[in-house]
Structure 1
Amino acid sequence: MRLLELYIHIPFCKKKCKYCDFLSGPSTADERESYVKSLCQDIRSYAHLAKACRVISIFVGGGTPSTLTAFQMQQIFSAVRDTFVVEENAEITVEMNPGTVDREKLSGYKKCGINRLSIGLQSTKNRELQILGRIHTYEEFLETYHMARAEGFENINVDLMSAIPGQSLTDWEENLKTVAELAPEHISAYSLIVEEGTPFYEEYGEGRHADELPDEETERKMYWRTKEILSKYGYERYEISNYAKPGYACRHNIGYWERTEYLGIGTGAASLINNSRFNYGEEPEKLTVSAQMEETMFLGLRMMKGVSKIEFLKMYGESMENVYGNVIRDMEQKGLLEDGEDFVKLTDRGIDVSNYVMSEFLL
């Protein structure tokens, strides 16, 4: 049977953050109930695909999925398990924000088979949380985190964001150390990106108030210090922005970077099936072999282990050297890539300019 990942999108949140450009927004109880009912019907409509697949991971993202009640989440997972064969040891993640769960809800999520939580903290400093437009305080995060532990969740990710307006290098270092002291199994450490169409873009886009944002050199130092600090607490960087204790790398996200097939269900969700990409409700677009090769390289290079030459040859019947030899040699000479016996991977310097390196692999 084919291995398959499921992504389920919940487009609701209590309040949209100032930097967020995801498909999400506030909702009423009736809207959430109607959406869950429709979502369950859509999940069951994939019975034909499910017959040939074995689900190895499920990720419920948003928005803020924890705006749903425990019963609504149970309805969704009943539809999933009625339709798909889910591996017994599947990684099942749900995203949540502090202040949106209680012990009863967490207990209900556990009964659904959810075994991994991803908590959107972003900062341990309430001043920075207010700047971002977050709905919670650090104290509310701590309450949520300890409740999750009390309910038996043993695999928790915490999201942190750097390069927040007014944030210093010392502020970022303190955020990292404070969270690492709590010992979550996984930490995602992302840099703020000012996206068009957001309140942040109106305030900081196109060079506006640039003096309030950390400069490029400070951002680079934040990135370096992230690895240095987290490694002292036992976290290994396995992807450009993700760190995990041994054995706790996010299997679902690794699937994305390694191009494992995944099915996205819900408003705005994306899928990769039979080398075709499509958004929910749209017609699939078959990727050319060249496009598949490009994805293998620029997604795979996000991983610290890099891209396997042997696997590339197995997938495409052509060696990486024949397709990308000139690019690899050029990037290696510039000190941006390491060309090993099997794996091609980014150097530390290459990570600093990863977008440039990955763009060089577009055919």
Structure 2
Amino acid sequence: MLKKLCMLPLLLLLAVIPMTMVQAAPKAEITSVRTATRNDANTPFVRTVLEVTDRTTPRLFLDESGEYISVTLPHTKIAKNVDKRYDANHNVVSRITLTQRSSGTDVNFKVPQAVTKKDIKVFTLPGTDKNKKGMRVVIDLNDKSGKVKQWSHWNDAAIGINNAGKKGSTAKTNTSKPAVDVPSYGNSKSYSLTQGLKGKVIAIDPGHGGSDTGAIGSFSQEKNITLAIGQKVAELLNDAGAKVVMTRTTDVDVYAPYDGAVEELQARCNIANAAQADAFVSIHIDSFSSADAGGVTAYYNSKTPYDYSLAKYLHAQNMAATNFSDRGTRTANFYVLLHTNMPAVLLELGFISNPTEEQALNSEQQQQNFAESIVKGLADYFDHNGQ
């Protein structure tokens, strides 16, 4: 009996040692933090990106007031050269701080206006080429002030083209005007409205790509679906005698990896503008915080008299190619709609956040159906001379 009692402390010690070793194991490090204001979406937002050397699963917490947000990164620590306080657009975020805890790191946000969980998106992306083992944690906070203006027009109509529109331009703009009053960017009609697809130059823009995955579903990424559909559209258009200009043909960034939204989107517009395309079709997949949201939308901006017709004909054919719900044809100030010289449309072909639609969007049949419907819509548009 005495021998057994003597063994008890030893057994307890052995039980504690593994736990101590686990706690002492090296943690993933947060090696950089950067923030940016994104105003190229329907609702502007502030994006915070944290580079982490290893995998972690972020956890979101929101207090009852809606003014304090915390995203916990378990089993992470802050690298020595990383600051613990950051500034962002004060209309959206009052302050950002990092707090080190024994179990991980808290990324804390104070916001000037109360938010709900619908105003917050937290997701992860793969690490950079230099840190393939690691990952990026992305935190988006919507603007609730209404003070962050969407991109509607640059100070110079030629910005991003031939180095025009650099800082210091004296050109004036009226950003208070509605979208329908924004003029054609090239101020000259180089696009054709004659009947038939043969000989037409069509710019196809598969949304996102490379370091930008776009929306993320339960098992797929937007960038891969848009590219698959875009490639099928290009093949069908070529067969119809059209000349196809693709903004990307593989999984790449159009401008540069991890570039800003403006550089990336302007690069896509430049490709279409340089080719003097007759129509521009940007392909996207939608997403929402609720899995119930679904459907197909066509967005346009009446910078020319023909953008609406392009969206109308494509949307009608898209709806005939799926059983997804109809979200209609809507106006928007999306960058690529405003900065292309020709009639343009941005298609949201379903929701990757909707399990049923995500499954269908990853099927060869639905991708082919949408590709055929886009080509049919373009044919309808030209057969009606853009009316």
TM superposition score normalised by structure 2: 0.30
Larger radius of gyration, structure 1 or 2?
A: 2
Q: Normalized per residue, which structure has more strand?
A: 2
